[in-house]
Each structure stands twice: as C-alpha cells, then as structure tokens.
Structure 1
Amino acid sequence: MPCVLTPNSTTQDGPAASPGSRPTLRDRTAGLLAEHLRPTTTFLLVGGVVFLLDAAMYNLLVFWSPGEGWGTGLMHTTPLLAKLLTIAAASCLTYLGNRFLTFGDRPRPHTARSIVMFLLVNLIAAGLQLSCLGFSRYVLGLDSVLADNISGTLIGQVVSTSFRYVTYGRFVFPKR
C-alpha cells in the first residue's frame, strides 16, 4: 500500500518537511552519503587492487632475485627507481579504473587536459610516496622488507591516495 504524504502528515521518522522548509541535518547527511558513498567505495576498491599490484611488483624488483630467490633483489640498491617504476605501472591502471568506474558517471573531459592533469597529480603523489620511502631508507637507514613496505608502500600509499582522492574529483575528473 503506497504511502502518500500531505503537508500535515507525518512519517515514521517524524513530521514531513513542508515544500518551502530547509532540509534537516538528517536530510543533508543522507544526501551527502548518497552522493559520496559509491564513488568513495569504488575509488577505494580500485586503489586496493592497484595497491596490491604495486606492493607485489616492488617486492619482486627489490627483494627477489631470479637465481637466488628472496633476499636481495635486482633493484635492492635502487629502491626509489623501483618504486617509481611500480608507481608508473600502477598509475596507468588507476587512471583506467577511476575514469571508467569511480568517475564514470561524470562527463568525459577533454582527453588531453584530463591526461595532463592526471599526470601532474600523479607526479606530486609519486613524490609524496617516494619521500616516505626515501626518508626511511636514507635518513633512518632502514632497508628491510618490513621497513620498505611500511614506509613506501603503506604510509606512502595512504598519503598519496588521500591526495589523489581530493585532486582527482576536482581537477582530473571534474563534475562539469
């Protein structure tokens, strides 16, 4: 049986809003949640998949040797270059995932502008992530698998992903 509300009727949650009234805090919160829940969830899912790929590639490059197995890998002495390579590969997947999944409902921006903004945002984000790894490696002198994964992959990824989330929605995939 459909529920029809008149200006003087009430809902289960309280009085119905009249046509000229301002939205309640609950209405605004529900609206914000509806607007941001799907893109935030999708962004985190895309980021999670790419995070796993980035971590796996980095660990293979830095800590795995084809002839000797785990220990000191081919790029152990150049961890920043290894991380830069993995960030570049992950960024390509991030762009595709966010363009078509997270922000797929937004109008298609001019491709050249979108790609330039994406590259700029990712260069800054890569710098943030590399600075976390570089600080751990070269200032603190930590070069173990655990230290690299905490500083470069975990902390660096949290910092760079937070930056990306804010800037992708505003500059790379804008609403208009």
Structure 2
Amino acid sequence: MERRSAGLQRLVREVAKFGAVGGAGVLVNLGVFNLVRHVSGLPVVRASIIATVVAIAFNYVGFRYWTYRDRDKSGRTRELTLFLLFSAVGLVIENGVLYLATYGFGLDSPLQTNVSKFAGIGVATLFRFWSYRTWVFRAMPARAAQSILAAEATKPAPTQRVP
C-alpha cells in the first residue's frame, strides 16, 4: 500500500508541475495570439499557429528543465524530435478546434475566438500530457535512477569562498 501511495504522490507532483508549466504556456499562447491577431491583422488560425509555436518552445524549456528534469537525458535528439512531433499533433488539435468554431460555427468575435482557442488548448493538453510522459520524457529505469541518486549523494558539497 505504501508503494502505491508513493506512486500516486509522484503522479500528483508531476501533474502539478506539468500544470504550472502548461499554465504559464497558456498565458504565453493567449498573449501572443491576441498580440499577433490584433497588431498584425492576421486571420485567426494563422495568428493562433504562431502563438502555439511560441508556446511550444516556452513549454519545452519548462518541461525539460523543471517538470521532467529527473528523467532520462541520454537521447536529447530523440527527445526533441518526439516533443516536436507530439507538439505538432497538439497544434493540429488545438487549432482544429479553433478553426471549427470560427469557420464552422461562425464564432469569430474576440471573446469567442479566445474561448475557442482556450478550449482547443484544453483538449490538446490532455493529448500532450499523455504523449510527453509516455514517449518523450521517459522515466529512467529504477537501477539507473538509483545509481545517479547515489552518485549525487556522494559528491562533495561545493565550497564557497568568502571575499
């Protein structure tokens, strides 16, 4: 039972960290979307695609260096390739919802496009969470993780020099 509880706690922490990075990414996404749309006058979906790409870059840094910093780092090229592939699928999901709402249902006021974009982000986030944790930022095998933790524990503490 104790083992199950520890696993659940890890999952809750992971979801919280993913949510924090993702929440900041949503703010970046919506901010860039509204800025690009209203300053440049680009059509809704084009402005949204630009915003999504900026948010993807922002999120990669947050996920790699905070949410999943303890995950396997040996295959960065593979990791980045998969991250971009799954992010592209998420981009299609997110902007497909926006496209359908805007051009299929005629919901094209600024409020309606923001709500539609937010809904698309929500649907795409479910896919991204599953794909990132399953395929991109894979957990290290337990033995390798224990070896790394043991090596970290035996490292001498850095010395501080007093000026």
Normalised-by-shorter TM-score class: 0.7 to 0.9
Distance 1:148 1:29 in 2: 42
Distance 2:82 2:132 in 1: 9
Higher relative contact order (CA 8 A, sep 6+): 2
**TM-score in terms of structure 2 length:** 0.81
Match 1:101 to one of 66, 88, 92: 66
Structure 2 unaligned segments of length 5 or more: list them.
141-163
Quote the residue 1:143 is aligned against.
Answer: 108
Q: Is the 8 A contact 1:55 1:149 kept in 2?
A: yes
Distance 1:171 1:109 in 2: 14
1:29/1:79 Cα in 2 relative to 1: closer, same or farther (>3 Å)? same
Quote the residue 1:81 is aligned against.
Answer: 46
1:104 counterpart SS class? coil
Deviation at 1:99, TM superposition (A): 0.5
Q: Is the 8 A contact 1:109 1:173 kept in 2?
A: no
Deviation at 1:33, TM superposition (A): 2.4
Kindly name which structure, 1 or 2, has the bigger radius of gyration based on alpha carbons: 1
Distance 2:41 2:89 in 1: 27
Match 2:80 to one of 106, 115, 123: 115
Deviation at 1:28, TM superposition (A): 5.3
**TM-score in terms of structure 1 length:** 0.75
Match 2:5 to one of 7, 10, 30: 30
Distance 2:3 2:112 in 1: 43
Size of the aligned set, in residue pairs, is 140
Letter in 1 for 2:47: A
More helix by share: 2
Letter in 2 for 1:116: T
Structure 1 unaligned segments of length 5 or more: list them.
1-22, 66-72
When the two chains are superposed, the root-mean-square deviation of aligned CA atoms in Å is: 1.4
Quote the residue 2:151 is aligned against.
Answer: none
Deviation at 1:29, TM superposition (A): 4.9
Letter in 2 for 1:54: N
Distance 1:174 1:28 in 2: 20
Distance 2:134 2:64 in 1: 13
Deviates more, 1:49-58 or 1:33-42: 33-42
More strand by share: 1
